[in-house]
């Protein structure tokens, strides 16, 4: 009696399961197929999988041969629906393929997409019975293994060869019966798509110089950039309407962008992408079909592979080169999130408001599986839109590029205070003639030129200069702009690289809080120094106490620190209180000096026939002046102007005649005696003063 009850219960269970599988068309007449389906789902339920129910059934349709379902396929699946070919080609029946597709359905319901594509396919083959005829011991060759490894690592859809290799591997290794489990041995062998990459990472770069300002997470793993490749593709177009192009870019409209391929210049595209080492880009002559062209915009090729993969630093340099080469083409990216069909349109209103506040150019890029499941998302941001100075790229596993915005916005909120745009760039007149032919680049760091200036894809440029006081050969980072054939050469660089260059020339041995204070002074002067050359909105590279010599060739690149924004804001306050548009500093010190100059030399320097007397005077406000007496009049100069004219180490403490033909000037230390004394700053730092106290000592009203 007990055995009979068990049989009845099993039959009722099969009938219940059968109600959860709905057959359509000619398949409704195949009783054995329906029985096979019910048995398969019962087995899956016994293993612990979540199976279809009467309230949430799976539907099985006869397959058509048109569309994506070709004559080579025996079955197909998408959530809730199975497409099955009657009388399929090959050695297996409809029931085997139905079991295969039913496994995909229950895996979708139970595992939530956690299984790698290859693992779900292996489990489906193992469950379906496809491997019954395979003998163990028939292992794939090394070449076959390497081929499937490469495709798995790129997240490519498995082709028939890959499936055959995978079937032989599973036949030898087996497969675990637990729900959503993966074979440990095969997982070690094959892994998952882009399994070397961390979950999330980011990089902030100066768009001017290519200097990395901040980064986090995995910086070395190489992933396909997805639709971020549309940026260099657009920059490689010979002609384009910026407004129309911008709308196509924010919508990531591949089809419309491909309609512009007659304007595409492949060599320019390759030049902009030269920072990326691992490339399989076909020559333009080989772009014979639509799918191959689509690879140039970040999609997979016909084999499911990607044309290139890049680390974050490589990708950022390539995007920087494209943005700088055709800046007008990308203004429309500021509409991402605003236009209804843009890729960020569906994201958080608060995050999109932040993009508008900072005037950010935004472009997304998503790497997906063959069925559209996101594997990795990229988000490129550059700001401010009118003249971008920052470039940031964010990368996150398992989401679309648009979904990366929530994490990116959190960092943006911090960066808008730590990296304000007004302290981001410095323009330096290099006091040449500098022959543009001497602007060299390394073989792996090519030079790019347009109507706006010259730059290299890696950021740094080697220049040769004949200017007095300048290094004959040096390396600078940024963009070189020249007005006219023999006009002034202006370097636009980031403020930190500028500060490093001035520190190396002026105060290389300064340390601790004194160095921190000095960095702030140099940075403040650099970002406020455009009055030094009104015609080019730049400052000099050899302005008094602001000598900028760049770097020596062969210097190892490095990040020597970032300016403290709170100190910069303090200097804003101190400069306003003292009505200063330039913060003077000098070596200082307590070394005594004296110098004798003949009366003839003094007459020549001051362009006077006769100098009767020279007197040093201090006014009530503490300012020092030198009064020169001539036969018909007199002249009063600030002590700073006087000592600069005569190239004295500092403002003299005494001015005395030696005889009727000679004057003697004596003093202590070096510099003008105003502002920050390098020697005093170091002494204050060694005495325990912090950078803020050193700056208040140098520029406060009580100084």
- 672 pLDDT band (50/70/90 cuts)? low
Confidence check: pLDDT of 566 > 80: yes
Confidence check: pLDDT of 71 > 60: no
Say how far apart CA 548 and CA 545 lie, in whole Å.
9
Mean pLDDT of the chain: 85
Residue 234's H or E segment, with its range, is helix 230-235
Q: Check whether the bond before 645 is cis (ω within 30° of 0).
A: no
Residue 428's H or E segment, with its range, is strand 425-429
H helices, E strands: number in the chain: 22, 27
Burial tier of 14 (Cβ tally within 10 Å: 0-12, 13-18, 19+) = middle
Return the pLDDT at 288. Answer: 66
- Tell me the torsion sign for CA atoms 184, 186, 191, 193: negative
Specify the range with the lowest mean pLDDT, choosing from 138-142, 262-266, 344-348. 138-142
Q: What is the DSSP string of 62-73?
A: EPPSSTT--TT-
Percent of the chain with pLDDT over 90: 45
Strands (E), 46-109: 58-62, 75-78, 81-84
Per-residue pLDDT tens digits for 607-651 = 888 899 999 887 765 567 899 999 988 988 888 778 878 888 888
- 197 pLDDT band (50/70/90 cuts)? low
Return the pLDDT at 281. Answer: 75
Return the pLDDT at 69. Answer: 46
Per-residue pLDDT tens digits for 445-463 = 888 888 888 899 998 888 7
Per-residue pLDDT tens digits for 655-665 = 999 998 999 99
Is 89 strand, coil or helix? Answer: coil
Say how far apart CA 426 and CA 422 lie, in whole Å.
10
Average pLDDT over residues 394-414: 93
What are the sequence ranges of the domains in the chain?
15-190, 200-419, 425-577, 588-670
Confidence check: pLDDT of 225 > 70: yes
Confidence check: pLDDT of 204 > 90: yes
Per-residue pLDDT tens digits for 485-537 = 666 788 899 999 999 988 888 888 899 999 999 999 999 998 887 766 666 67
Which residues 6+ apart lie within 8 Å of 45 measured at CB? Answer: 17, 51
State the alpha helices, DSSP H only, in 592-671. Answer: 599-606, 639-646
CATH topology of domain 200-419: Beta-lactamase (3.40.710)
Say how far apart CA 226 and CA 547 lie, in whole Å.
44
Structure tokens at 76: 């197909």
Average pLDDT over residues 363-373: 85
Say how far apart CA 59 and CA 52 lie, in whole Å.
10
| Strongest mean pLDDT among 295-299, 494-498, 508-512, 583-587 | 494-498
Tokens 């700053």 belong to which residue?
681
Is 585 strand, coil or helix? Answer: strand
Per-residue pLDDT tens digits for 497-506 = 999 988 888 8
Q: Check whether the bond before 500 is cis (ω within 30° of 0).
A: no
- 5 pLDDT band (50/70/90 cuts)? very low
Return the pLDDT at 474. Answer: 77
């Amino acid at each position: 009696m007990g055995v009979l009850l068990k049989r009845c219960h099993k039959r009722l269970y099969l009938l219940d399961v059968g109600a959860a599988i709905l057959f359509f068309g000619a398949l409704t007449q195949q009783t054995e197929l329906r029985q096979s389906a019910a048995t398969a789902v019962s087995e899956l339920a016994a293993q612990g999988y979540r199976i279809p129910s009467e309230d949430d059934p799976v539907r099985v349709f006869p397959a058509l041969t048109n569309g994506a379902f070709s004559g080579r396929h025996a079955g197909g699946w998408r959530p809730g629906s199975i497409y099955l070919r009657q009388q399929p080609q090959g050695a297996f029946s409809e029931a085997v393929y139905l079991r295969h597709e039913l496994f995909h359905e229950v895996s979708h319901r139970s595992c939530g997409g956690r299984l790698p594509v290859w693992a779900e396919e292996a489990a489906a083959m193992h469950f379906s019975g496809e491997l019954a005829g395979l003998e163990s011991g028939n292992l794939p060759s090394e070449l076959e293994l390497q081929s499937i490894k490469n495709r798995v690592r790129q997240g490519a859809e498995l082709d028939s060869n890959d499936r055959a290799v995978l079937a032989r591997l599973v036949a030898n290794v087996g497969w675990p019966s637990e729900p959503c489990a993966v074979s440990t041995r095969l997982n070690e062998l094959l892994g998952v798509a882009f399994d070397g990459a961390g979950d999330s990472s980011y990089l902030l770069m100066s768009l001017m110089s290519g200097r990395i300002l901040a980064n986090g997470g995995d910086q070395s793993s190489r992933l396909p950039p997805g639709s971020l490749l549309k940026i260099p593709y657009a920059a490689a177009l010979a002609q384009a309407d910026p407004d129309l192009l911008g709308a196509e870019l924010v919508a990531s409209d591949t089809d419309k962008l491909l309609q512009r391929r007659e304007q595409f210049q492949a060599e320019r595209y390759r030049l902009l992408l030269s920072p990326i080492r691992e490339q399989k880009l076909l020559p333009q002559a080989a772009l014979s079909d639509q799918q191959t062209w689509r690879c140039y915009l970040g999609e997979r090729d016909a084999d499911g592979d990607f044309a290139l993969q890049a680390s974050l630093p490589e990708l950022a340099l390539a995007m920087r080169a494209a943005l700088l080469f055709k800046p007008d083409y990308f203004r429309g990216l500021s509409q991402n999130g605003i236009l209804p069909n843009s890729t960020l349109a569906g994201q958080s209103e608060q995050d999109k408001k932040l993009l508008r506040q900072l005037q950010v150019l935004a472009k997304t890029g998503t790497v997906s599986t063959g069925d559209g499941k996101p594997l990795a998302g990229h988000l490129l941001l550059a700001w401010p839109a009118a003249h971008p100075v920052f470039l940031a790229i964010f990368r996150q596993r398992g989401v679309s590029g648009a979904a990366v915005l929530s994490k990116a916005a959190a960092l943006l909120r911090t960066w808008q205070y730590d990296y304000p745009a007004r302290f981001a760039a410095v323009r330096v007149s290099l006091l040449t003639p500098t022959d543009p032919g001497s602007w060299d680049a390394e073989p792996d760091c090519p030079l790019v030129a347009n109507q706006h200036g010259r730059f290299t894809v890696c950021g740094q440029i080697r220049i040769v200069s004949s200017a007095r006081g300048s290094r004959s050969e040096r390396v600078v980072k940024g963009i070189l702009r020249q007005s006219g054939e023999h006009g002034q050469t202006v370097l636009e660089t980031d403020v930190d690289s500028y500060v490093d260059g001035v520190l190396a020339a002026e105060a290389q041995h300064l340390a601790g809080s004194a160095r921190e204070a000095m960095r702030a002074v140099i940075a403040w002067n650099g970002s406020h120094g455009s009055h030094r050359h009104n015609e080019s909105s730049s400052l000099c590279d050899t302005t008094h106490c602001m000598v900028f010599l760049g770097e020596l060739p062969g210097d190892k690149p490095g990040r020597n620190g970032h300016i403290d924004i709170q100190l910069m804001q303090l200097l804003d306050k101190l400069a306003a209180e003292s009505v200063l548009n330039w913060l003077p500093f000098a070596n200082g010190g307590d070394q005594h000096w004296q110098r004798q100059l003949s009366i003839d030399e003094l007459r020549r320097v001051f362009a006077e026939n006769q100098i009767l007397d020279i007197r040093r005077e201090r006014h009530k406000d503490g300012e020092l002046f030198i009064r020169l007496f001539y036969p018909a009049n007199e002249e009063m100069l600030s002590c700073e102007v006087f000592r600069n004219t005569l190239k004295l180490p500092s403002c003299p403490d005494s001015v005395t005649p030696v005889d009727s033909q000679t004057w003697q000037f004596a003093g202590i230390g070096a510099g003008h005696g105003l502002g920050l004394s390098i020697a005093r700053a170091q002494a204050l730092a060694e005495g325990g003063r912090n950078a803020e106290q050193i700056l208040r000592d140098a520029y406060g009203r009580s100084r």
